[in-house]
Amino acid sequence: MEPKERSSDKAAQEAIQLMADEGIENAWDRLDAQKPQCGFGKQGVCCRICAMGPCRVSKKAPLGVCGADADTIVARNFLRSVACGVAAHSDHGRTVAEVFIAAAKGEAKDYKLKDTAKLMRLAREFGVKTDGRDINEIGVEVGEIALKEFGKSEGHQLMTNRAPKSRQEIWDKHGVRPRAIDREVTESLHRSSMGVDQDYKNILKHASRVALADGWGGAMLATELQDVLFGTPYPGRGEVNMGVIKADEVNIIVHGHEPILSEMIAAASQDPELLEEAKKVGANGITVAGTCCTANELLMRHGIPVAGNFLNQELVIATGAIELMAVDVQCVMQGLGQVAAHYHTKLITTADKAKIQGVEHVSMDETKAFDTAKVLVKRAIDNFKNRGEVHIPQYKQKAVGGFSFETIKYMLGGSFRESFRPLNDNIMNGRIRGIAGIVGCTNPKVTQDYSHTTLVKELIKRNVLVLTTGCATIACGKQGLNNPSIALEYAGAGLREVCETVGIPPVLACGSCIDNSRLLVACSELVSEGGLGDELAGLPVVGACLESIHEKALAIGQYFVASGLLVVFAEE
């Protein structure tokens, strides 16, 4: 397959060709080797949950050995996938909560509670007393309440109270308001095991419940606590695509999802001593760039450059200019090890729950986070001398990122009356026809980034305001769609007028996949602002994920659905 069929991103095309010339495999080649992929698996009608199986249902044999039919098997597989996605986001949230508490207690001295205004808002929401109390004391209590959300024995997810009353009533009526996050995940595994829940409607109902434990639970907690720890994102400029890698500097790629690691590496790369060391080896500086959601987190908060999205992770190494890639959790391909072995790139895993056979592991301990980050940066500097030939595709685009819920509210209403009112008004008067959340991954089964960016252009042309997260954000960024001056050219007249008046681009980069929880809060705000109906289901809002790969995307899709929103999903 030609590089341009594999990716619509010019930098990626160049790197794909480079790898082909050198005979190094990447995800696209491995996909080709996997073809034809199993039709039963594709349809979700393969069950290997018990040892009487594996059972594959077909016309000839419509029931599994236990008698399970296709509906049950598909629903069980779906529930397990959603639960796994929820577990991933939520476990990220739990790590953040633990670091949050350690920071407040002064045990993780490199982290501080930065956004104290947001902390106070959370304290009020959680019923924590604030009068006359030390900020860290409040932080410990807020953090402990957040941590309890994972395993508490009674009550529902606290943040479901943020949804409009009408939506909460629907959840209660159907019995899907989520309890403790761990409980919903555990129950998903139980219900989908052999001989338990065998009514597909009942199984899917629990898929909603466990997904809601993510959107209004684990992912939302992760987002809120990260904002307090690292600062609530505010619009700032950055650059996106492989051209951000610098031929004359030490390049470090941070890849994965938790800013706990990447924030520290970014800070360590500014350390004067280390910059001096870099000079000594002949480098003009140290560049830190991100891939996947970690990149979005850093772009959102610090304007740190983004080297690419999911399918770029192997390609960036093929530039030959990456001294070190530090990875933590999620969406990290095992194939990175083989690619790195062809170059001088040092690949290092950092999360104790995510190691790769044959790859060096440096444990990221939150109590000595900055020191660990410095060790990693030093390793990168020492590796600079081992570089061979360098080919950096010279493509990059300017991007504005950092559209948190708070920022959007502020930009719309101004500092004196932060509010969504202008947005509601412009939807009501027809200048803006609706809002679309374009989310998710890049899948080698389809031309990389093409569906996301084509859809986004068509939407803004039709006066639909677009909010992006995850790898879809990076796809847009690479093609200039997060650059207001380029994106406005595609926008319809009504949308353009509003964006120019308010000073926002027509495509708002809202961050990583856990930041989809920000979209839920924004939708609730649209309802409470009035004029667009009193239920989430009535809003002119759609979520779309056209290049999904990960079970996390299914969790997001399902919590959007269970929140009453229209969702469009494509899977090849």
Q: Please pick, from the candidates 15, 20, 49, 123, the single residue that binds ligand SF4 as defined by CB under 6 A.
A: 49
Please report how close the Cβ of residue 198 comes to ligand SF4 at its closest, in angstroms.
9
C-beta of 242 vs 381, nearer to ligand NFS: 242
Q: What does 288 interact with, of ligand SF4, ligand NFS, none (CB < 5 to 8 A by kind)?
A: none
Round to the nearest angstrom and report the end-to-end CA distance of the chain. 17
- Closer residue to ligand SF4 in complex, CB, 54/414: 54
Which stretches within 23-126 are classed as H helix?
A: 27-34, 39-43, 70-105, 116-126
For residues 339 and 311, is the Cβ–Cβ distance under 8 A? no
Verify binding: residue 289, ligand NFS, rule CB under 6 A.
no
User: Is 331 an interacting residue with respect to ligand NFS (CB under 6 A)?
Assistant: yes
**Any residues with CB less than 8 A from the CB of 533 and at least 6 apart, and which?**
527, 539
Identify what 52 binds: ligand NFS, ligand SF4, none; CB under 5 to 8 Å per kind: ligand SF4
Tell me the closest approach of the beta carbon of residue 295 to ligand NFS, in angstroms.
9
Give the binding range for ligand SF4 (CB under 6 A) out of 4-12, 48-56, 126-134, 372-380. Answer: 48-56
Q: Which amino acid is at 287?
A: T
| Cβ-proximal residues to 370 (8 Å cutoff; 6+ apart), any chain | 110, 264, 267, 268
Binding partner of residue 92 among ligand SF4, ligand NFS, none, CB cut-off 5 to 8 Å per kind = none
Binder among 65, 362, 390, 542 for ligand SF4 (CB under 6 A): 65
By CB under 6 A, tell whether 68 contacts ligand SF4.
Answer: yes
Distance, in Å, from the CA atom of 11 to the CA atom of 397, rounded to the nearest integer, reads 11
All residues at 6 or more sequence positions from 473 whose CB lies less than 8 Å from its CB, including other chains: 296, 401, 482, 509, 510, 511
Q: Is 552 in the site for ligand NFS (CB under 6 A)?
A: yes
Distance set, CA 390 to CA 27, 48, 345 (Å): 21, 46, 12
| Shortest separation between residue 199's beta carbon and ligand SF4, angstroms | 15
Peptide bond into 36 cis (omega under 30): yes
Distance of CA 114 to the CA centre of its chain: 22
Instruction: Pick from 5, 43, 53, 148 the residue near ligand SF4 by CB under 6 A.
Output: 53
Interface with ligand SF4, residue 212, by CB under 6 A: no
Q: Applying CB under 6 A, does 203 fall inside the site for ligand SF4?
A: no
Region binding ligand SF4 by CB under 6 A among candidate stretches 3-11, 52-60, 145-153, 317-325: 52-60
Q: Which of residues 489-548 bind ligand NFS (CB under 6 A)?
A: 512-513
Tokens of 412: 């719309």
CB 191 within 8 A of CB 49: no
If the CB atoms of residues 164 and 402 are measured against ligand NFS, the closer one turns out to be: 402
Mask of contacts with ligand SF4, 2-41, x by CB under 6 A? Answer: ----------------------------------------
Stretch near ligand SF4 under the rule CB under 6 A, chosen from 46-54, 171-179, 253-261, 544-552: 46-54
Q: Among 292, 299, 408, 456, which residue interacts with ligand NFS (rule: CB under 6 A)?
A: 292
DSSP state of 416: T
Stretch that binds ligand SF4, among 43-51, 199-207, 318-326, 370-378 (CB under 6 A): 43-51
> Residue 470 interacts with ligand NFS (CB under 6 A)?
yes
- The helix (H) or strand (E) run that includes residue 498 is helix 493-502
Let me know how long the chain is. Answer: 572
Residues 435-464 within binding reach of ligand NFS (CB under 6 A): 440-441
Question: What's the one-letter identity of residue 417?
Answer: R
Near ligand SF4 in 336-375, by CB under 6 A: none
Amino acid at residue number 367: T
Are β-strands 55-56 and 46-47 bridged in parallel, bridged antiparallel, or unpaired? antiparallel
CB of 38 to ligand SF4, least distance (A): 15
- Closest approach of ligand NFS to the CB of residue 472, in Å: 7
Cα–Cα distance list, 307 to 171, 203, 240, 311, 444 (Å): 41, 40, 6, 11, 18
Cis peptide, bond prior to residue 54, ω within 30 of zero: yes
Whole-angstrom distance, CA of residue 365 vs CA of residue 371: 9
**How many residues bind ligand NFS, per CB under 6 A?**
16
Own/partner pairs for 487-495, CB < 8 Å, 24+ apart?
487/460, 490/457, 490/460, 490/461, 491/460, 491/461, 491/463, 492/460, 492/461, 492/462, 492/463, 493/463, 494/426, 494/430, 494/431, 494/432, 494/433, 494/463, 495/431, 495/432, 495/460, 495/463, 495/464, 495/465
The reply to whether 471 sits near ligand NFS by the rule CB under 6 A is yes
Query: Closest CB to ligand NFS among 252 and 295?
Result: 295
Structure tokens at 41: 């698996």
Binders of ligand SF4 in range 138-197 (CB under 6 A): 194
For residue 513, the partner it binds in ligand SF4, ligand NFS, none, with Cβ less than 5 to 8 A by kind, is: ligand NFS
Could you tell which of ligand NFS, ligand SF4, none binds residue 322, using a CB distance below 5 to 8 A set by kind? none
Q: Residue 236 is inside which H or E element, if any?
A: strand 236-240
With CB under 5 to 8 Å by kind, the binding choice for 66 among ligand NFS, ligand SF4, none is ligand SF4
Q: Of 235-274, which residues contact ligand NFS (CB under 6 A)? A: 257
Cβ closer to ligand NFS: 426 or 512? 512
DSSP-derived pairing of the beta strands 434-438 and 46-47:
unpaired
* Residues of this chain that bind ligand NFS (CB under 6 A): 257, 292-293, 309-310, 331, 440-441, 470-471, 512-513, 549-550, 552-553
Return residues touching ligand SF4 (CB under 6 A).
47-50, 52-55, 64-66, 68, 73, 194
